[in-house]
Amino acid sequence: MVFEKMVCLVSRTGRQFQRYNKGRRQVVGCIPYRFKLSNDGKISDEVEVLVISSQKGHALMFPKGGWELDESVEEAASRECLEEAGVIGNIEHQLGKWDFLSKSRGTYYEGLMFPMLVTEQLELWPEQHVRQRIWMNLKEAREACRDWWMKEALDVLVERLSSPMNQPKEEKTLSISIETMC
């Protein structure tokens, strides 16, 4: 018996089921990341993150969107990565929460960001015709990312990945430092 993975190729739309906290729309995003393959095909210590273009194509950012009433925060983060970037992976512990002013709407939002260790990159995804996806090293991504709060989330991820306390003892420690990002 052959099983094929089925993926919904339509993004959710509308705001009637969006979550709000103290009048602020809650949005959830992810920083999709992977460990780069070295020339010999082995996994290296170098981390790459996936940025996407805005729908109008003028800015780069990490996948994010509204958190809806019928899903957990982790489900919302996974859905946004699938819809906007066409990646699937493991959602890890929240990086933080930021209040930010929406440039297009002039209202404050509450943004929650998570890291996602990417396990699969799809060839077809819901927003492939309105977004580009680009894998970048950490420094390039920090420079390219439009939103200050997403840059701060990336800083938290870098700190987390570079912390020896977050590494299993039998694995080698990643040598990622904040200096390499500036």
Structure tokens at 152: 């701060």
What is the structure's pLDDT at 146? 92
Q: Phi first, then psi: what are they for 155, rounded to 5°?
A: -60, -40
pTM above 0.85, yes or no: no
Q: How far apart are CA 69 and CA 42, in angstroms?
A: 41
Structure tokens at 139: 């420094």
135: amino acid identity, one letter: W
Q: Phi first, then psi: what are they for 92, rounded to 5°?
A: -105, -175
Q: Phi first, then psi: what are they for 150, rounded to 5°?
A: -75, -35
53: amino acid identity, one letter: S
User: How confident is the prediction along the chain (182 residues), in pLDDT tens digits per residue?
Assistant: 443 444 555 454 555 688 999 889 999 999 999 998 888 888 888 999 999 999 887 899 999 999 999 999 999 999 999 999 999 999 999 999 999 998 777 889 999 999 999 999 999 999 999 999 999 999 999 999 999 999 999 999 999 998 866 554 433 333 333 333 33
Half-sphere exposure for 178 (CA within 13 Å, toward CB)? 8
What is the structure's pLDDT at 111? 96
